[in-house]
Structure 1
Amino acid sequence: MTQDLPQTLPDWLAYCERIHPKTIDMGLDRVREVARRLDDGRGLQPACPVVIVGGTNGKGSTCALLETIYGQAGYRTGLYTSPHLVHFEERCRIDGQIVAADALLPAFADVELARRGAADQPEISLSYFEFTTLAIVLTLARARLDIVILEVGLGGRLDAVNIVEPACSIITSIDIDHIEFLGTDREAIGYEKAGIMRTGRPVIVSDPVPPQSVLDRALEIGADLYRAGRDFHCGGDQQQWNWAGRSRRYAGLAYPALRGANQLVNAAGVLAAVEALHPVLPVTAQAVRNGLALVELPGRFQIVPGQPALVLDVAHNPHSVAALTENLDAMGYYPTTHAVFGAMADKDLPPMFQRINPLIDRWYFCDLPLPRAASAADLAAIWRGTHPRPGVESSLHAGPQAALDAAIAAADPADRIVVFGSFFTVGGVLQNGTPRLDAKHLPA
């Protein structure tokens, strides 16, 4: 029966794209049934504590901080995030390292056999995300880890990772995104995000102003709510910051190595989770300090050394673009800021342009290799409708790398280039490694 299965990870991914009629199919019944069939009914639940991280913005940063702090404390960590920037294997990390493609193949095969079912069981259709999530979580469940961190892909209540029982949940900042699936306002979206809470288990809400629906859901099911500004607090000056929770305090902390003022909100929520899990996973203050200093995450206000300055950021909705704008504004003066931009057609694009327009002097719109991506021409038309400053020019390009090449060619050494709008935009310029931007300015 296994002879007809794909033999390589690219073959498996291509197969997963073909077997379900919908790219996104909300619901847990099919995923739960396949999970029930796995490992002789033992399913996917790891034997160690699990943290599920949901929210609109800040999930990836929160996961990276958790992974690094617990790794520095000596624990074996497992991490699942999505989407990836360049290679699919980036979605699964064990002990801080991206797993090899071959290490995922046994779990893909087992999920497929469970999906097909035994003779008396019906075959179950899974979407690409559902199938790959099951395979990665199964890989982590078999890895004998001390903690597993799972990032929600979309929403929370009906996301595939929510079939796993968390010891702790984290809800990061909430904003309007994926309205066709989650709702048109923060209250509706907050209700979906709150679906990762569990009765009697800690849930960290790091959003400083969470929707009421999140707070109501915690009260309704009896979750142990850790709320920013009530159960944990942070503050600081230009050099260091302090954090205080229910029973623990940290003073004189270095700011997270991840750039951007919004990272302090994420880090504060992470420390609340560390406090909540302390009875089962003790962490020293030194591990916290080391984790904050050593954390890395490509594509989150990532500044690439060289001239002109290059900023890579996966900001792809109004809230994250607002944070990107504030961070760019804090960088100081640049004669010209060039923007490489590609995005999905379902994003709320006008507010994104309106927020960042004052900082951008030249736009390079690019196509992306996905059916649901907006074309460069459509992006340019929407941008023109937001009434940018007079004299700001734009151009159209076949992909992110072509757009970046054009920006590099036009930029002076003192200028700045920002690449944003989607994981696929940033990933497109990282396909061949981190760009070197000073080559054209070196002496011949």
Structure 2
Amino acid sequence: MARFDSLDGWLSWQEQFHPRPIDLGLQRVAEVFRRLEPQPGRIPTITVAGTNGKGSCVAYFEAIYRAQGYRVGAYTSPHILKYNERIRVDSQPVPDQDVCAAFERIDAVRGDISLSYFEFGTLAALDIFSRAGVDVRILEVGLGGRLDAVNIVDPDVALVTTIAIDHVDWLGHTEADIGREKAGIFRRATPAVIGDSHAPDSLLQAAREKQADVLQIGRAFDYQKQAEGWDWYTDQLKLQQLPEPVLKGEHQFRNASAVIMAVTCLQARLPVYEAAIRQGLLTAELKGRFQLIAGDPPILLDVGHNPQAVRSLLDYLHGSFQTVKIHAVFAMMKDKDIPGVLAMMRERVAQWYLAPLKNPRAAHEELLEYYFQQLDIGNVNKGYADFAAAFNDARRHALPGELILIFGSFFLVSEYLSQFP
């Protein structure tokens, strides 16, 4: 008999079941995986870690391999609207009943082993992909790398996108510490693609210690923008006049370049023609990252929540909305670098609207006010009952030709997409 008959029931229980919401370590989840996993054959696996850019890279992998005709499993986090977004087969979120069935199988074999919310989800994704007969699985690391549940699987290619300060309570307070944690996904004699030309030495040193095959952008591969399109190249291979990535921002050329390198590494097992790469660059989809909603004024959604991600946002705004007045609906989690983000955006935003979120991790209005005052940032609108009130006030104030920017948290973007579809 199943413990619950609905996905909401399973998820509510998982949120309370394990004593720690984040419990890094592989022993418990690896043991349950050993009991659970039917081993019909080794599925080619790509693991993606990094501070920013993971979601974009997974989207490119999905689009490229699907364009080639492969059946693709993708596991990502967090979700924006529905939990099912985390587990996709051929870019479609799996149905509730499939997730519930996977949770039931996990519950049946775990015995007295306690699992966290994220560990249940990771095991469910791996179980579903095995039963769906996918040709390749793309696994996004949720937090760090070395001790993240995704790391129970040995990848055929490991990709690290970028390294920046984030999640310091779990990963360390320096880029060197964080680099070592991200390098935990690397394996001996396995391609280790690094999409950050300025990656900390700790990441490269850890890769060498593991005897991984290091392939870093700017060294083993690179790209060059042209008057029309762009070129990607290694010493042995060159793809010319590729279409501009559909996901916007200069950093997307770096993300796409790293993905092409990883795809090239797997050519012997998963052959991909250049036409599929081109199509994938044009068809990748990712909610909440530079997502532009047409209108007058238009609305721009961005889930970026650390200074590195906001630097990419600023670059995009400079290129696409250089002289446009910006109204920012804003919220962040209290464990993020709020003053760092505000300091970067202060000269670009004309009016701020502080949106309350129903999340215990969200920074409350008094804390946000404190940071705004410390940085001497004015034009702050506050006192709203909920997100909708803050957004509607921004809509009332924004004139035609201006821009409403909703940024700072996945949860904030989720509020918009759920209430104003």
- When normalised by structure 2's length, the TM-score is 0.97
**Alpha-carbon contact 1:377-1:396 (below 8 Å) kept:** no
**Counterpart-to-counterpart distance in 1, 2:30 and 2:341:** 37
Deviations 1:214-265 (A, max 9, x none): 1111111110111111110101135311000253211001110001111111
Deviations 1:188-227 (A, max 9, x none): 0000000000001111000111110111111111101111
Partner of 1:59: 54
Return 10-19 or 236-245, whichever deviates more: 236-245
What RMSD over aligned residues (CA atoms) do the two structures have, in Å?
Answer: 1.5
**Counterpart-to-counterpart distance in 2, 1:361 and 1:324:** 16
Partner of 1:414: 401
Partner of 1:313: 302
**Alpha-carbon contact 2:226-2:241 (below 8 Å) kept:** no
Q: Does 1:99 align with 2:94?
A: yes
**Counterpart-to-counterpart distance in 2, 1:382 and 1:393:** 11
Give the count of matched residue pairs.
421
**Once the 2 structures are TM-superposed, how far is the Cα of residue 103 of structure 1 from its aligned partner?**
1.7
User: Match for 1:363: what amino acid?
Assistant: W
**Counterpart-to-counterpart distance in 1, 2:324 and 2:135:** 50
Which residue of the other structure, out of 129, 132, 141, is the alignment partner of 1:152?
141
**Counterpart-to-counterpart distance in 2, 1:71 and 1:304:** 26
**Once the 2 structures are TM-superposed, how far is the Cα of residue 421 of structure 1 from its aligned partner?**
0.7
Return 392-401 or 224-233, whichever deviates more: 392-401
Return 285-294 or 45-54, whichever deviates more: 45-54
Which residue of the other structure, out of 67, 71, 81, is the alignment partner of 1:72?
67
**Alpha-carbon contact 1:380-1:394 (below 8 Å) kept:** no
**Once the 2 structures are TM-superposed, how far is the Cα of residue 397 of structure 1 from its aligned partner?**
2.7
**Counterpart-to-counterpart distance in 2, 1:256 and 1:134:** 32
Secondary structure at the residue paired with 2:382? Answer: strand
Return 97-106 or 238-247, whichever deviates more: 238-247
Q: Does 1:271 align with 2:260?
A: yes
Q: Does 1:137 align with 2:132?
A: no
Partner of 1:35: 33
Deviations 1:328-387 (A, max 9, x none): 121234552110111110001111000111110111112222211111332122122122
**Counterpart-to-counterpart distance in 1, 2:386 and 2:154:** 40
Partner of 1:430: 417
Which residue of the other structure, out of 211, 214, 228, is the alignment partner of 1:225?
214
Return 281-290 or 330-339, whichever deviates more: 330-339
**Once the 2 structures are TM-superposed, how far is the Cα of residue 398 of structure 1 from its aligned partner?**
3.5
**Counterpart-to-counterpart distance in 1, 2:235 and 2:365:** 50
Partner of 2:82: 87
CA shift in 2, pair 1:367/1:46, >3 Å: farther
Return 329-338 or 346-355, whichever deviates more: 329-338
Partner of 1:23: 21
Which residue of the other structure, out of 376, 381, 399, is the alignment partner of 2:386?
399
**Counterpart-to-counterpart distance in 2, 1:376 and 1:69:** 43
User: Match for 1:404: what amino acid?
Assistant: F
**Once the 2 structures are TM-superposed, how far is the Cα of residue 48 of structure 1 from its aligned partner?**
1.6
CA shift in 2, pair 1:23/1:398, >3 Å: farther
Identical counterparts, % of pairs: 42
**Alpha-carbon contact 2:297-2:400 (below 8 Å) kept:** yes
**Alpha-carbon contact 1:157-1:194 (below 8 Å) kept:** yes
Partner of 1:437: none
User: Match for 2:240: what amino acid?
Assistant: A
**Counterpart-to-counterpart distance in 1, 2:46 and 2:165:** 24
Which residue of the other structure, out of 175, 185, 190, is the alignment partner of 2:174?
185
User: Match for 1:399: what amino acid?
Assistant: D
**Alpha-carbon contact 1:314-1:420 (below 8 Å) kept:** yes
Q: Unaligned 5+ residue runs, structure 1?
A: 118-122, 435-444
**Once the 2 structures are TM-superposed, how far is the Cα of residue 108 of structure 1 from its aligned partner?**
0.6
User: Match for 2:17: what amino acid?
Assistant: I
Partner of 1:296: 285
Secondary structure at the residue paired with 1:323? Answer: helix
Q: Unaligned 5+ residue runs, structure 2?
A: none
